[in-house]
Amino acid sequence: MNSPKITFIGAGSTIFVKNILGDVFHKPALKSAHVALMDIDEIRLEESHLVVSKLMNSAGATGTISCHLDQKEALQDADFVVIAFQIGGYEPCTVTDFEVCKRHGLEQTIADTLGPGGIMRSLRTIPHLWSVCEDMKQVCPDATMLNYVNPMAMNTWAMYEKYPEIKQVGLCHSVQGTAEELARDLDLDYVDLRYTCAGINHMAYYLSLEKKDEQGNYVDIYPDLLDAFERGEAPKPGLHHDGRCTNLVRYEMFKKLGYFVTESSEHFAEYTPYFIKPNRPDLIERYKVPIDEYPKRCVEQIAAWKQDLEDYKQADQITVKESQEYASTIMNSIWTGTPSVIYGNVKNEGLIDNLPQGCCVEVACLVDANGIQPTKAGRLPSHLAALMQTNVNVQTLLTEAILTENRERIYHAAMLDPHTAAVLGIDEIYALVDDLIEAHQGWLPEWVYQ
């Protein structure tokens, strides 16, 4: 069997590349892969090359590495294309998203999925994703794209509408990552869990969540989770971000809805109208909602990377523990034919009955030599689908805006955002969008300014 070619677009995201390739090199069939690294930042590209070279040697991989500043060149004859870039970066664009919204009285936590921050990020990002699709059509039409770029639903939706011939899936770690967190909250081993999950990205729910008992039978652990929450034993203190993110929002929603959502509390707080309100510091305190969390993480990650880079330069070997990310599993299954199941973001073509057909949904997918094959989830509990629909509304309008080059739909998307509408009036929302568009001069498509 020939060796696959794996192309990373946005390879300057060195830690992400390191983690994905750490998984790849755990797969015997992928150890001889050619890795093509592409980024527009030559310095970051060189840093990634250094790290990947040492990682490859440490793992006993026998493949090769090439570095590219030209996207089409990097994509030539690729079998797998991994996308991991952030258009506009932390500075200036993420700072702009937060500062402009704050001036208008709208506070955010992450701002990468929904709301004005997610809308602007999508407008910045989708044209660049389309350029990848266009190049793939020409130089690697049979490749499979693994997209990790947020806002996941809007980005994935815009790509499959404009480039339906491109084989792609949107990937996130929230399904398997949250399952690990819940296992930890109950002092269980993650490998003993079994679950089914469906919904939309960052708002999928575990429709069943079970553990294997001593007799080898699977039993529902939702009652145990609720009991642990009521006794104050769950959620356990966070392991990341200096304990700022506590998971209280998700447990409160679990108590009210009866199902646990996949994405973190700091994300979920800004997808709904319940937790971040003007003149309600009591809600922020009660649920420990980390306002401005994403900019804080960016600053911390930038500082940490400087130290990590020095450590990598000095290290003879770089090893990575195998993670729960799906990328290497997908590559291995497609390349070898060994079947696996992952959760991916795909077009809703009869997959979830009570969400709009054509919208982007997150469901279980069978992966083998035939590629990524989404499975039908059926009809979701009506209250969960109704909550998801409030987010799908925003995704629908923003995707329509960029596909039809309709500036007015950008405002409509912001108007329908649950958090924004709970805080600002209609005229205030229009003024906010005006200021965001003006502040993003040079980062948004030209039609936005015509």
Comparing C-alpha atoms, which of 202, 144, 132 is closest to residue 172?
202
Residue 125, CB half-sphere, CA atoms under 13 Å: how many? Answer: 32
Q: pLDDT digit string (tens) for 374-419?
A: 999 999 999 999 999 999 999 999 999 999 999 999 999 999 999 9
pLDDT at 238 over 80: no
Catalogue the E-assigned strands of 249-404: 340-347, 360-368, 371-374
Give 1's strand partners: none
Options 104, 173, 241, 419, the catalytic residue = 173
Q: Which residues contact 398 (CB under 8 A, 6 or more apart)?
A: 119, 122, 123, 154, 409, 410, 413
For residue 426 the two structure tokens come to 């209609």
Could you give the dihedral angle defined by the CA atoms of residues 39, 20, 6 and 51, in that order, rounded to the nearest 10 degrees? 60
pLDDT at 240 over 80: no
Cα–Cα distance for residue pair 167/43, rounded to 1 Å = 31
Do the Cβ atoms of 74 and 111 come closer than 8 Å? no
32 or 243, which is more confident: 32
Backbone angles phi, psi at 269, to 5 degrees: -60, -30
Q: pLDDT digit string (tens) for 321-365?
A: 889 899 999 999 999 999 999 999 999 999 999 999 999 999 999
Buried b (16+ CB within 10 A) or exposed e, 139-162: bbeebbbbbbbbbbbbbbbbbbeb
Q: Has residue 132 been placed in a domain?
A: yes
What pLDDT, on the 0 to 100 scale, is given for residue 242?
A: 62
Do the Cβ atoms of 8 and 35 come closer than 8 Å? yes
For residue 350 the two structure tokens come to 């009869």
Q: Has residue 100 been placed in a domain?
A: yes
Cα–Cα distance for residue pair 388/358, rounded to 1 Å = 14
Q: pLDDT digit string (tens) for 45-95?
A: 999 999 999 999 999 999 999 999 999 999 999 999 999 999 999 999 999
Cα–Cα distance for residue pair 402/332, rounded to 1 Å = 34
Q: Which helix (H) or strand (E) holds 147?
A: strand 144-147
Q: Has residue 63 been placed in a domain?
A: no
pLDDT at 216 over 80: yes
Q: Has residue 305 been placed in a domain?
A: no
CA dihedral over 253, 257, 258, 261, signed as positive or negative: negative
Report the CATH number that the domain containing residue 287 is assigned in CATH: 3.90.1820.10
Q: Which residues contact 173 (CB under 8 A, 6 or more apart)?
A: 324, 325, 326
Do the Cβ atoms of 357 and 368 come closer than 8 Å? no
* pLDDT confidence bin for 243, thresholds 50/70/90: confident
Q: What are the CA-CA distances from residue 100 to residues 103, 266, 271, 423 (Å)?
A: 5, 20, 19, 15
Please state the separation of Cα 89 from the chain's center in Å: 16
The whole-model pTM stands at 0.97
- How many structural domains comprise the chain? 1
Q: Has residue 143 been placed in a domain?
A: yes
Q: Which helix (H) or strand (E) holds 82?
A: strand 80-83
Residue 104 is among the residues annotated as catalytic for this protein: no
Residue 337: DSSP 8-state: -
The pLDDT of 289-298, averaged and rounded, is 96
Q: Has residue 120 been placed in a domain?
A: yes
Q: Has residue 47 been placed in a domain?
A: no
For residue 321 the two structure tokens come to 């523990």
Q: What percent of the chain has pLDDT over 90?
A: 94
Structural domain boundaries enclosing 187? 86-291+325-450
Do the Cβ atoms of 351 and 375 come closer than 8 Å? yes
Residue 290: DSSP 8-state: -
Q: Has residue 272 been placed in a domain?
A: yes
